[in-house]
Structure 1
Amino acid sequence: ELNKLFFMALNDIINGEKAPENSMQYMASVQNNMGQHVCGGFLITQDFVVSAAHCNDSTPTHVVLGNHNLKNGNHQKIKIKKKNIHENYQNVGQGNDIMLLELLYKVQLNERVQTIQLPPAEIHLEENQVCQVAGWGKTETDVKSVDELRVVDVSVINPRVCEELWHGLPANVICGDSGGPLLCDGLAVGVVSFNYEKNCSYPNKPNIYTDISKYHQWIDGIVKSRKYDE
């Protein structure tokens, strides 16, 4: 049974390939006030982006949407109005590594910018099922992050195996570029949380993902309470 905890093996953007243009239109680059990419994220409504809570350590100020290449100016840059960090988040090792970024205004949806659906409260992934991770993260250890969006296949592994490799795993995780989505069957089922000592070439430690299905109610509550100034 993989319905309570499930984990992903392999690396995030390692050995990946460039994402096709005008695919993954929900991908967001979470940036600081210097215009530097600090984390990935993904658009779930016209005014909310999901990312990882630990990304707040880099003091993000805005998100960039509709841009596969971060050096290309054809995009929507939107200020973050409010950062909603899960109330039980303390550090990545203790879980709840999820943050909901409320944007200053609704983004314009078009052929370059679209939302992605979240999974239902109960999702069932099969062992060895192949999913994808996308982001602008490093392509190998000690190399700078890439400018062009990349995607790589990852596969579901058994939670018991993952527990043996990662002792003392937090709850509600799925075993990437931090903050980016884990994609299975067209749904964003996870948020990239951490890997082994930021080492991209490890062969024996799975990446860890926050299981979004466990936070559906939390996300819905914040989205529904959105207040507009206009």
Structure 2
Amino acid sequence: MVINFVLLQLFVLHAAHATHIVGGRDATSHSRPYMASLRIGSLHNCGGILVREDFVLTAAHCEISGTYTVVLGADSLSGNEATQQEFTAVKSIPHPNYDRHGNDIMLLKLSGRAQLTEAVQLISLKAGRLRTGSQCLTAGWGDIGDNQTLPSTLQEVNVTILSQQTCRRRWGMVPITGSMVCGVGARVFQGFCSGDSGGPLICDGAAAGVVSFSGRRCGDPNTPDVYTRISSFTKWITDVLNTN
């Protein structure tokens, strides 16, 4: 079985590395003002969300040896929109227990503080566990065709939350821990894909998860999309923000 780490993890799955939304739709322009594009040079590599004016939350497997350019207020990856604000990530803080099998969460400190506007906003973090069957969504600029086809604008797709038991049964030997949450699209081959790594799972208007990994085929319900459960890391996130 292969895991798709929506980005660079050649783990045993298809990481969301370079994961993109498949089977989704164009998001209404600037309707997700908390979204961040993490770029290496001018190329989008991962997603993230703005949790404080100077901090973006993303996936630990998105960490690179170089420096990210972080773009806020974007709708199109190719356009130079007046709404965009650009920063450098001056510090990467992955969870200390990240080990490619779990704790796939990271904070990036920006070179400055974002100016909050209609197109750039913070997002709150969802507390507590999600109920099975909850209706959520995920968004990103990742692959839209499971074939390295990038979208011109931000994509989003509806997600239904699965029980841990169902997710573990479908993944088989791959460990699905209590700090993970699983979801599937309404149809086969709907979900996140390469390039969507680090992006959010949004439930009731708050961030409940971080895009982590999927199966060999993006959006395949036999290997449900897996997100890092943000509520499992609330104390760590708070501690990092308070000490920075």
Q: Which residue pairs with 1:63 in the alignment? A: 70
What is the CA RMSD across the aligned residues, in angstroms? 1.6
List, as ranges, runs of 4+ consecutive aligned residues in structure 1 with deviation greater than 3 Å. Answer: 57-60
Cα deviation per residue 1:111-153 (whole Å; 9 max; x = unaligned)?
1100000112xx2422212100000011121132223101100
Conservation of the 8 A alpha-carbon contact between 1:140 and 1:201: no
Residue in structure 2 matching 1:206, options 212, 216, 224: 224
TM-score of the two chains, using structure 2 as the length reference:
0.82
> 1:171: how far off?
4.0
Name stretches of at least 5 consecutive residues in structure 1 with no aligned partner: 1-10
User: In 2, Cα distance between the equivalents of 1:79 and 1:12?
Assistant: 23
Residue in structure 2 matching 1:178, options 189, 197, 214: 197
User: In 2, Cα distance between the equivalents of 1:22 and 1:202?
Assistant: 28
> 1:95: how far off?
0.4
Matched AA of 2:35: M
Q: Which residue pairs with 2:16 in the alignment? A: none
Matched AA of 1:136: W
Conservation of the 8 A alpha-carbon contact between 1:46 and 1:107: yes
Equivalent residue of 1:38, what SS? strand
Percent identity for Structure 1 against Structure 2: 40
Bigger shift: 55-64 or 79-88?
Answer: 55-64
Equivalent residue of 2:63, what SS? helix
Conservation of the 8 A alpha-carbon contact between 2:33 and 2:73: yes
The reply on whether 1:37 has 2:56 as its aligned counterpart is: no
Q: Which residue pairs with 1:83 in the alignment? A: 92
Conservation of the 8 A alpha-carbon contact between 2:142 and 2:150: yes
> 1:89: how far off?
0.7
Residue in structure 1 matching 2:135, options 119, 126, 130: 130
User: In 2, Cα distance between the equivalents of 1:57 and 1:202?
Assistant: 28
Aligned length: 210
Cα deviation per residue 1:32-66 (whole Å; 9 max; x = unaligned)?
1x211000000011000001010114745221000
Matched AA of 1:186: G
Matched AA of 1:200: C
User: In 1, Cα distance between the equivalents of 2:65 and 2:26?
Assistant: 26
Cα deviation per residue 1:61-111 (whole Å; 9 max; x = unaligned)?
2210001101111211101110001100121xx100001000011011101
